[in-house]
Structure 1
Amino acid sequence: MPISEKLPTWAVVPAVFAVFSVISYQILIAPDNLNGTKNVLSMAKTIPLPVDGPESIEWDPQGGGPYAAVVDGRILKWRGDGLGWAELAYTSPHRGNCSRHEVVPTCGRPLGLSFEKKTGDLYICDGYIGVMKVGPEGGLAELVVDQAEGRKVMFANQMDIDEEEDVFYFNDSSDKYHFRDIFYVIANGERPGRVIRYKKKTKEAKVVMDNLRCNNGPKAGTRDIFAKVPGYPDNIRLTPIGDFWIGIHCKKNLLGRLVVNNQWLGKLVEKTVKLELLIGLVNGFKPHGVAVKISGETGEIVEILEDKEGKTMQYVSEAYERDDGKIWFGSVFTPAVWVLDVKLDGLPT
């Protein structure tokens, strides 16, 4: 019997549309399925925060911490299960309307954190203000640099300190957008990012690399393609043995590749798609957790850890391996950090 005789006409169109929607999602929007990964991030312990977005985490020279840079412009310190989180510092004096869930530009948005071992000063990349620092006593951070070679630093993102040379390197990920509109930086096809070297003695800020797209996690002194990872990378952290962990915001999908690789389409998305929808399209409307470990010598992928379903971990911005074998994870959006208290060699597949 023909299908038209089995089903009423009004039921055929919705059924066809539903099938088409499922197929389109699987082809265009569903996140990539990665081979050889370890789906273990859901095992991590969750340490909640009273505020969203611990984008970067760091430990002080005495091993205290972690410290977390959060969405309301503050730096918080973890003091253990009994004491919880305490405020160390903040990047803007304008605290009256700061939100614990959304970015308020006047409050600043601290991102990358780096302690200087010899002084104990904490350097902070703020996605609105520039590179700042605060002493061990905490409080309001002071501005260190907010322009380089005549261009304002719009999106200070992450940094690395070379204490022998008394310089630091940091990323200015865009000269057009601040942190809140980061996904438009990815989508529009432009390459406005740069890496800047700052000499502390002379206070000279020099661009050492430019024409970059949404750059983050500098590796000082190099300009080559060191590694390619299966997703949109965020912060880079050196491991105790010289490899690197990279936080992956989300895996890629076909739609994301089309937008990123075709500037005309990226420009159209920038003008017509709301930011919340763009975030959903990029992650396949399925937030998840991914971190990638690469070799410090070759750049080859050594290990990929996942929470495929996003049960525990989502939007990983940083993975930080400590000497004790624990790996700590930060997130650009969620109100938590996580710690995986398992030796890497012993992780189940």
Structure 2
Amino acid sequence: MRPQVAYKPLDNLSPHNCLLVSLPLYIALSLYTLFAETHTQTMVHLVSLSKAMLFLTTSTILLLSVFLSSIDQIKIVSDLFQTQKLSASDKHIIPIVDAVGPESLAFDPHGGGPYTGVSDGRIIKWLQNERQWIGFAVTSLHRDGCEGSHDHEQMEHICGRPLGLRFDQRSGHLYIADAYMGLAVVGPEGGLATKVATEAQGIPFGFTNGLDIDQRSGVVYFTDSSWRYRRRNYISVIVSGDKTGRLMKYDPKSKETTILLENLTYPNGVALSKDGDFILVADTTNCKILRLWLKSSKSGIVEDFAHLPGFPDNIRRNLKGEFWVAIHVKRWKILKWLLSYHWVGNTLIKFPFDITKLYSYLPKWRVCGLAVRLSEDGEVLEILEDKRRNGWKFVSEVEEINGSLWIGSIRMPFVGIQERVVFHYYEEMDYFVLMVLYCKGKIRRK
């Protein structure tokens, strides 16, 4: 049964504060109206516009979006709910030197690790007794200039960028979804990984991302987020509405790669159900989780499994069969609006600036860590949120091990360990409705 939510009454809200809260809504609606009129006129006279004017108009829209996105609307929403807050004393971090972005976490059959892939192309292993990271494997033979303290993104296509990781618990082999090198595997002793799949049906992988393994059969399920864009351009995948993503499986016995789903919008993390009767795949662009049935009378059917308040990354199943979904960032209302007009995104990516770099300048202090625990039926059971912004940001994976949560991030220079904290379920409400209730000084119970 879905947990009930108790909302805080807002008895002390003054008209002055109500005005301050409503002002962002008024500005956003005004900008939307202005843009709608401008867009209509632009479509009529587009041919007569110069390239300079188009550049100026589109750039202005983007900058307004970035500015408005930095207004933490979600904080207003979050403060309405009676949820616990993470304490800094409950968390621990394991720093990583000269690299960032421990995207995915994996533990070997003996409980060793975690193992994680980082920005310089290495897969490193944590030695608990020695309290240090050691190199375990690489996906590329070319390592000159890869390591050290510098911007690794420019060398990703040479050095590799390991993302999804998963051990075959029977053989001890580690499977790696490398964004540039494809699907690879390395033995228990580590070293240079062997590529096992780099294309499907004649189309090369462009952005290999998440993976999971059926521990009964050894079959590997993985995603190619886009064959058109590379990982370093991942924001372009979202804003353009790209639909070249694929969900595939690799059979190590037959060495065949099969496409299960195609024409997907930014497929990301994947996770098999406890019984193996279905598989989940994160639809990052649309902020939801899809379920593909693999067995039973529903075999082959795809359906929405859960809708989320932000952009999902990796999915991991716990021992109970529940799923932890990492949320990269929340989806602000203005971004939701921007993504509904893909012609804006398609125009932006044609201009001579790096839209992914521009995204990286979004105010990091506004970002808080977020993860959601889902039941086998897609019900939200728990929300993990760093509302105090103690360090959890751009969460890429949550792995539940022995009562603790191991947390990865695509951009932070550490792996986090968090004690379990239970949060209440809530549904995303329309921003306008929330403001009306907010100004009236009361919120209805569900």
Distance 2:158 2:208 in 1: 15
Distance 2:129 2:423 in 1: 26
Identify the residue that residue 133 of structure 2 maps to in structure 1: 85
Distance 2:230 2:87 in 1: 30
Aligned with residue 248 of structure 2, among 196, 202, 205: 196
Distance 2:383 2:165 in 1: 24
Check conservation: 1:189, 1:262, Cα contact below 8 A.
no
Identify the residue that residue 303 of structure 1 maps to in structure 2: 382
Residues 32-90 of structure 1 deviation map (CA, whole Å, 9 limit, x = unaligned) = 23544543174411110112110101100100011111011111111126331011101
Identify the residue that residue 63 of structure 1 maps to in structure 2: 111
Post-superposition offset of 1:314: 1.1
The answer to which of 32-41 and 114-123 deviates more is: 32-41
Post-superposition offset of 1:309: 4.7
Post-superposition offset of 1:186: 0.9
Aligned with residue 102 of structure 1, among 152, 177, 196: 152
Q: State whether structure 2 residue 410 is matched by structure 1 residue 332.
A: yes
Q: State whether structure 2 residue 127 is matched by structure 1 residue 76.
A: no
The SS at the match of 1:72 is coil
Q: Which has the larger radius of gyration?
A: 2
Check conservation: 2:384, 2:423, Cα contact below 8 A.
no
The gaps in structure 1 that reach 5 residues or longer are 1-18
- Percent identity, aligned pairs only, is 38
Q: Which has the higher contact order (CA 8 A, sep 6+)?
A: 1
Distance 2:365 2:340 in 1: 21
AA partner of residue 105 (structure 2): I
Check conservation: 2:205, 2:224, Cα contact below 8 A.
yes
The SS at the match of 2:223 is strand
Identify the residue that residue 366 of structure 2 maps to in structure 1: 286
Post-superposition offset of 1:312: 1.4
Q: State whether structure 2 residue 324 is matched by structure 1 residue 277.
A: no
Check conservation: 1:258, 1:265, Cα contact below 8 A.
no
The gaps in structure 2 that reach 5 residues or longer are 1-22, 29-63, 272-278, 280-291, 294-301, 425-446
Check conservation: 1:41, 1:305, Cα contact below 8 A.
no
Check conservation: 1:249, 1:290, Cα contact below 8 A.
yes
Alpha-carbon spacing, 1:39–1:344, altered in 2? closer, same or farther (3 Å) = closer
Q: How many residues align?
A: 324
Distance 1:214 1:187 in 2: 11
Identify the residue that residue 229 of structure 1 maps to in structure 2: 308
Residues 104-137 of structure 1 deviation map (CA, whole Å, 9 limit, x = unaligned) = 1200000000000111000000000100010011
Identify the residue that residue 256 of structure 1 maps to in structure 2: 335
AA partner of residue 334 (structure 1): M
Q: State whether structure 2 residue 92 is matched by structure 1 residue 45.
A: yes
Distance 1:81 1:251 in 2: 37
AA partner of residue 262 (structure 1): Y
Post-superposition offset of 1:285: 6.8
Identify the residue that residue 71 of structure 2 maps to in structure 1: 30
Aligned-CA RMSD value:
2.4
Distance 2:69 2:408 in 1: 28
**TM-score, length of structure 1 as denominator length:** 0.86
Distance 1:269 1:251 in 2: 22
The SS at the match of 2:358 is helix
Q: State whether structure 2 residue 256 is matched by structure 1 residue 218.
A: no
Residues 201-221 of structure 1 deviation map (CA, whole Å, 9 limit, x = unaligned) = 222111101111111122434
Alpha-carbon spacing, 1:304–1:38, altered in 2? closer, same or farther (3 Å) = farther
Check conservation: 1:280, 1:286, Cα contact below 8 A.
no
Distance 1:109 1:186 in 2: 20
AA partner of residue 371 (structure 2): A
